[in-house]
Structure 1
Amino acid sequence: MFTIFIVEDDPNISRLLQAHLQRYGYAAVVAADFDRVLEQFQQLRPELVLLDVSLPKFDGYYWCRQIRLLSHCPILFISAREGKMDQVMALENGADDYITKPFHYEVVVAKIGSHLRRSYGDYSGKRGERTVEVAGLTLYPERLEAALDGNRTELGHKEALLLETLMQRAGRVVSRERLLEKLWDDQRFVDDNTLNVYVTRVRRKLRELNIEEALETVRGQGYLLRVVWRAPS
């Protein structure tokens, strides 16, 4: 049974979320102390976090950053803030998705199921470890890690999925539509800037491996991952 940690200070919303998730077979736990969210997370060790932006004392962005220091579990923001910058900030701080209020509980459950399948589904440790390799760069999708020449970097779930899709078609342009389809089940709820955020994050991860200018934007078409890396001089 998957455990969902609900960090929402509106008691009506948290109660309804908890009841709805329990109805679908999840173990849903509501945060009891908004000053000690990280401690509760460490004790609970959930598979997924539902996190509001507006919280007492520290906001959701802060707690998202703290959780990311310990875990790569999916984090889904739920917020009444509808601005594009709020969604971009959530992704920049480590979130995997952003759901605006008011929302249909069925949509929340569907998104939770989607993220759990991608994070803990058929390929997570059941058939031996998968790897994807291109020109010495090795991606470990289940480990959420990439390595090159003895250097390693950790990835978020979406970052790993994006890099895997690009590596599988290295040297060829991958359309934005294909990437959106790979990363999100329902593209209607994904802002166009969202993919840009993840591309920027993957470029940053590649630079940590001393790979510069490998992920190219092909205007009007999509993105291309070069097969031959250019290391910094």
Structure 2
Amino acid sequence: MFKIMLIEDDETLFGEIKERFQQWSYDVYGITDFNKVFGEFTNVKPDLVVIDIQLPKYDGFHWCRMIRSHSNVPIIFLSSRDHPTDIVMSMQLGADDYVQKPFHFDVLIAKIQAVLRRVYDYNTEAISLRTWCGATIDYEKNTVTSEKGTIELTKNELFILKLLVEQKNKIVSREALIKSLWEDDRFISDNTLTVNVNRLRKKLEALSLDTMVETKVGQGYVAIEEG
């Protein structure tokens, strides 16, 4: 389980982000004293830091400098400030990415996964088997098996199904899917995503699972699992 330190003084936003991160099995740590951010960082030793720019006492740039002077831990800035100089400053200080508020949680998760994968050689297919609606998804063999038989999926079809199933019963936006596919070097456009989802549904039809991947018009897709 990766440890993420979330340096955010907006308690409501912190709570929302923490809940989403925990849904992805990340261990989330906050800051109890914004005068001692670096001290809390050294105690926690997180695998990744998400930090706001506007903070009490010292800004995020200050703490980024402090952290970078002692650690190469990946850092993602999260801020409502959209001036180009802020983004440039973040990169110059050694940040790995910059996410502007307001943001879509799926996009933030995709960026975090991409950074973790790049920095820690994180294998998103470390769990080789996953059950869904009575079927077994084999990430190594690219197959889905149920009592009705076995179907084979392409790498893109499997990746899409995996992203949906890991967020089952939750809408995953088209933007988040495309972002995740691009970050994983599976270069895919909006039109190509539609084609892949349609092909995935066509194959799932053989297992009577095609209706379990729903389109939410104007929002994205959701993998349904009842019970």
> After the TM superposition, which residues 19-98 of structure 1 pair with which residues of structure 2 at under 5 Å, given as runs?
19-98=19-98
1:185 to partner: Cα distance? 2.4
Deviations 1:114-153 (Å, cap 9, x if unpaired)?
Answer: 0000011169xxxxxxxxxxxxxxxxxxxxxxxxxxxxxx
> After the TM superposition, which residues 3-14 of structure 1 pair with which residues of structure 2 at under 5 Å, given as runs?
3-14=3-14
- Would you identify which runs of 4 or more consecutive aligned residues in structure 1 move more than 3 Å? none
Aligned equivalents of 2:69 and 2:38: distance in 1?
Answer: 10
Specify the alignment match of 2:111 in structure 1.
111
Deviations 1:45-94 (Å, cap 9, x if unpaired)?
Answer: 00000000000110000000000011101100000001111100111112
User: What code does the residue aligned with 2:183 have?
Assistant: D
In structure 2, relative to structure 1, the CA distance for the partners of 1:90 and 1:16 (3 Å cut) is same
User: What code does the residue aligned with 1:32 have?
Assistant: T
In structure 2, relative to structure 1, the CA distance for the partners of 1:70 and 1:103 (3 Å cut) is same
Deviations 1:176-209 (Å, cap 9, x if unpaired)?
Answer: xxxxxxxx8299xxxxxxxxxxxxxxxxxxxxxx
Aligned equivalents of 1:9 and 1:68: distance in 2?
Answer: 21
Aligned equivalents of 1:50 and 1:32: distance in 2?
Answer: 15
Match of 1:185 among 183, 186, 190: 183
Aligned equivalents of 1:14 and 1:79: distance in 2?
Answer: 13
In structure 2, relative to structure 1, the CA distance for the partners of 1:7 and 1:108 (3 Å cut) is same
Larger Rg: 2
1:32 to partner: Cα distance? 1.3
| Structure 2: gaps (5+ residues) | 124-181, 186-227
SS of the counterpart of 1:78?
Answer: strand
User: What code does the residue aligned with 1:25 have?
Assistant: S
Aligned equivalents of 1:71 and 1:30: distance in 2?
Answer: 18
* TM-score relative to the length of structure 1: 0.52
Aligned equivalents of 1:120 and 1:186: distance in 2?
Answer: 14
Specify the alignment match of 2:121 in structure 1.
121
Aligned equivalents of 2:96 and 2:47: distance in 1?
Answer: 13
| Structure 1: gaps (5+ residues) | 124-183, 188-233
User: What code does the residue aligned with 1:120 have?
Assistant: Y
User: What code does the residue aligned with 1:56 have?
Assistant: P
User: What code does the residue aligned with 2:81 have?
Assistant: R
Aligned equivalents of 1:101 and 1:33: distance in 2?
Answer: 23
Aligned equivalents of 1:103 and 1:112: distance in 2?
Answer: 13
Aligned equivalents of 1:25 and 1:84: distance in 2?
Answer: 33
In structure 2, relative to structure 1, the CA distance for the partners of 1:122 and 1:99 (3 Å cut) is closer
Aligned equivalents of 2:39 and 2:32: distance in 1?
Answer: 11
Aligned equivalents of 1:86 and 1:113: distance in 2?
Answer: 23
Aligned equivalents of 1:90 and 1:77: distance in 2?
Answer: 7
* TM-score relative to the length of structure 2: 0.54
